[in-house]
Amino acid sequence: MSSTQPTPVAIVCVGMAGSGKTTFMQRINAHLHTLHQQSPSTTAPPYVVNLDPAVRSVPFESNIDIRDSVNYKEVMKQYNLGPNGGILTSLNLFSTKIDQVMGLLEKRCLPSKQPPPQTTDTTTPPKSLPSHILLDTPGQIEVFVWSASGQILLSSLASSFPTVLAYIIDTPRTTASTSTFMSNMLYAISILYKTRLPMILVFNKTDVKDEGEAVEWMRDFEAFQAALRAEEEEVEMRGGSGGAGYMGSLLNSMSLVLEEFYNALSVVGVSSMTGDGVERFFEAVEGKRQEFEREYQPELERRRRDMDGMKAEMREKEVRRMMGDMGVSSKAKGTGKYAKSGNGGRIAKEGPETVSDVEEMEADEDDGLEDPDHEMGTGMEEEDDVEFEESLKKRYEDALKASGGPAATVKSAEYIRRTQG
């Protein structure tokens, strides 16, 4: 079964505090558990990850919980931080374990790369895999979306699984006024731009107020402008300014500009309380998974290739820089600042850079010593030096590759020192 099962979709739930994110997670988790119970051989229960370090208790069981590896209260105390700083630092600490987290997710949710053991037992079906990975995020949405660790977590996830954002919206509160609605939409856009992942807008709490008005405001800007005018008139009647100034015209123009953005989104109304709309949500997830594979994956791969290219370029630069440094430090080979101009095109005599350089230079001047290579120049040295530099360059490159990039300069320097004896 597992070999024919599609890769599970990762659903990352984001939303403002109080939007009903946790209740929504609980609802979709319960839905997937029911599907599993109905057909245990085709799909495993969802794999659940809690990324909210500050949550006291979650009404569902998590397979990976940030709270198991980071103690949020302790982090706040130790680093003397407030609540948001505590969440951010906890996420940072957790993201340092991203390799382990991804290893675990891949092990549990992707088909095994090893061939299944040869067995004559045909009665036991192969183990099924989860169809979805659910991730709950901190209510302080900005801490997750705009932090480096949030980015690391999201991009690592998207590099192994089709990843979809579910942006949960408190429908009754958001449609209470056009300005609240617009603020929430702008927030959703900024997340879309930042994460560059497909997004589903989940209008939650439809048992209190359905999503009809919100969807109308999104699809028909004239309806939004009519609602805006009605609001202004109401305020004017109460003796206020009606926001007729910049606010009204800003919201007006915004509604026109946002049309393109709205077209990129899937919209569903859900009641996490009653379970209404949950099937429609999963249909939207399937649509977004296809969109991810069609549009986002090639873009992700292109970005990854660019990154690899950049890394290779940086490695090359680093090698050149270190070769330059070698010119400073390889006095023994006559390739340093003591080398005279014309010695194989290497660096000419330069000013001292450190106190010990000054002492050495003074000592040399006192002795009236010449560069030994230069004195004994036969022409052979130049060839030797080219060979020497070539072999060094190769060793630098090998060292840099082995250590994963220019960040490992110190390590590489040690390596060179060691190999030079």
Ligand X SMILES: Nc1nc2c(ncn2[C@@H]2O[C@H](COP(=O)(O)OP(=O)(O)OP(=O)(O)O)[C@@H](O)[C@H]2O)c(=O)[nH]1
Cα distances (angstroms) measured from residue 182 to each of 262, 290, 407: 12, 28, 44
What are the percentages of helix, strand and coil residues in the chain, rounded to 5? 60, 10, 30
272 binds ligand X (CB under 6 A): yes
Distance in Å, CB of 273 to ligand X, minimum = 4
Residue 10 Cβ vs ligand X, minimum distance, rounded to whole Å: 19
Q: Comparing C-alpha atoms, which of 204, 136, 202 is closest to residue 167?
A: 202
For every residue of 194-243, DSSP letters joined together read: HH---EEEEEE-TTTS-SHHHHHHHH-HHHHHHHHHHHHHHHHHTTS-TT
Under 8 Å CB-to-CB from 258, ≥6 apart: which residues? 185, 189, 218
109 or 168, CB closer to ligand X?
Answer: 168
Span interacting with ligand X, options 106-114, 266-274, 311-319, 354-362, rule CB under 6 A: 266-274
* Lookup: tokens for 229: 């005018």
When binding is defined by CB under 6 A, the residue of 23, 160, 183, 329 that contacts ligand X is 23
Q: How far is CA 144 from CA 82, 87, 100, 410, 412, in A?
A: 16, 9, 20, 33, 35
Q: Taking CB under 6 A as the rule, does residue 163 contact ligand X?
A: no
Measured from the CB atom, the residue of 72 and 292 that comes closer to ligand X is 72
- By CB under 6 A, residue 208 contacts ligand X: yes
Residues 165-204 that bind ligand X (CB under 6 A): 204
Stretch that binds ligand X, among 10-18, 116-124, 181-189, 282-290 (CB under 6 A): 10-18
Minimal distance, residue 277 CB to ligand X, in Å? 9
User: By Cβ distance, which residue is nearest to ligand X?
Assistant: 139
Query: Which tokens is 292 given?
Result: 């991810």
Number of residues this chain uses to bind ligand X (CB under 6 A): 16
Nearest approach, Cβ of residue 219 and ligand X (Å): 23
Query: In whole angstroms, what is the distance from residue 23 CA to residue 138 CA?
Result: 14
Q: What CA–CA distance (Å, rounded) separates 192 from 186? A: 10
One character per residue 121-140, x = contact with ligand X (rule: CB under 6 A): ------------------x-
Please tell me whether residue 45 adopts helix, strand or coil conformation. coil
Part in contact with ligand X (CB under 6 A); list of ranges 14-22, 39-47, 75-83, 378-386: 14-22
Q: Which residues in this chain contact ligand X in the complex, by CB under 6 A?
A: 15, 17-23, 139, 204-205, 207-208, 271-273
